[in-house]
């Protein structure tokens, strides 16, 4: 779990760089987990001084106070306390859309930045691209289900170790399509993402990334046509029937 540090008191704040300035007052100093430093006073919403994600950060503390120095390139932010009112360290997490509670710990689960996270333990469940988190939960573990389109619609657990999406796609489509170069079956594999790769590998190295979408037709080349969020496309994105100008990939019957 990440932590944020807070200091409050009578401090001198000096910024050197694009906006040289020295101020003194009773302020609150926030040090975020990414080392960003924000110095707030009583006026307005904008910090008195700040430095975002500095290259280096040092904090010296003793019983009487603290001194902080942050540097990013030619910019330097220094905060020195004269009278310390208080200091504390608090756990923080990313804020996201609530998606239920963890079935074992009871902690809230939120969706943020392509993953499901637990607010207390920090446990994370990465989501695949285009996944929609559902209100329904997994019958086996109690975690939320996600809706994913990979050739057809799958509803699987967000915990891939519980119910792997790869297995579901493989069960449905493994060997369903033929390699356009040699005719061997295309196998569902994971190679930095789900792919349909030729069973004759390494003799034939033909492979296609499986897009987020649902199979709707068959292309003139023999491969499936996917309906994706950005339009219709052939499994082979370089197929001659795949129009880069946005036209549909034509099906075998011309529709």
Q: How many CB atoms lie within 10 A of CB 74?
A: 8
Cα–Cα distance measured from residue 123 to residue 214, given in angstroms and rounded to the nearest whole number: 31
**CB neighbour list of residue 6: distance below 8 Å, 6 or more residues apart:** 28, 29, 30, 31, 86, 87, 88, 89, 90
103 with 83, same domain?
no
Q: Which of 118, 143, 170 is the last residue of a domain?
A: 170
Question: What's the pLDDT at 254?
Answer: 35
DSSP helix/strand/coil, 52: coil
Residuewise pLDDT in 10s, the chain (255 residues)? 789 999 999 999 999 998 899 999 999 999 999 999 999 999 988 999 999 999 999 999 998 899 999 999 999 999 999 999 999 999 988 899 999 999 999 999 999 989 999 999 889 999 988 899 999 999 999 999 999 999 999 999 999 999 899 999 999 999 999 999 999 999 999 988 899 999 999 999 999 999 999 999 999 899 999 999 989 999 998 887 655 444 444 433 333
Distance from C-alpha of 26 to C-alpha of 7, rounded to nearest angstrom: 10
CA angle 172, 175, 180 (to 5 degrees): 130
How far is CA 82 from each of CA 7, 38, 102, rounded to the nearest angstrom? Answer: 12, 18, 45
Q: Identify whether residues 161 and 79 lie together within a single domain.
A: no
Last residue of a domain, one of 154, 170, 186: 170
Number of domains in the chain: 3
Same domain? For 30 and 86 the reply is: yes
Question: Does residue 250 lie within any of the structural domains?
Answer: no
In this predicted structure, what is the pLDDT of residue 248? 46
49 and 13 in contact (C-beta within 8 Å)?
yes
| Domain coverage including residue 67 | 2-92
- For residues 129 and 150, give the distance between their C-alpha atoms in angstroms, rounded to a whole number: 10
| Residues 187, 143 share a domain | no
Cα separation, 104 vs 246, in Å, equals 47
Q: Are residues 130 and 190 in the same domain?
A: no
């Amino acid at each position: 779990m990440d932590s944020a540090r807070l200091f409050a008191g009578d401090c001198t704040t000096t910024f050197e760089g694009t906006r040289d300035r020295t101020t003194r007052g009773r302020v609150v100093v926030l040090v975020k987990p990414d080392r960003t430093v924000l110095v707030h006073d009583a006026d307005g919403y904008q910090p008195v001084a700040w430095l975002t994600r500095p290259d280096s950060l040092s904090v010296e503390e003793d019983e009487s106070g603290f001194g902080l120095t942050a540097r990013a390139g030619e910019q330097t932010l220094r905060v020195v306390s004269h009278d310390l009112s208080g200091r504390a360290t608090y756990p923080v997490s990313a804020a996201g859309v609530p998606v239920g509670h963890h079935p074992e710990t009871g902690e809230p689960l939120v969706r943020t930045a392509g993953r499901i996270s637990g607010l207390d333990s920090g446990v994370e469940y990465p989501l695949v691209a285009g996944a929609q988190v559902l209100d329904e939960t997994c019958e086996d573990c109690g975690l939320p289900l996600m809706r994913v389109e990979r050739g057809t619609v799958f509803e699987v657990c967000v915990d891939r170790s519980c119910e792997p999406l790869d297995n579901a796609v493989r069960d449905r489509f493994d060997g369903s399509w033929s390699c356009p170069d040699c005719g061997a079956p295309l196998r569902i594999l994971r190679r930095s993402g789900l792919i349909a790769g030729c069973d004759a590998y390494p003799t034939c190295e033909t492979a296609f990334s499986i897009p987020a979408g649902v199979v709707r037709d068959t292309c003139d080349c023999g491969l499936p046509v996917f309906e994706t969020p950005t339009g219709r496309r052939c499994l082979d994105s370089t197929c001659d029937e795949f129009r880069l100008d946005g036209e549909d990939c034509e099906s075998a019957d011309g529709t």
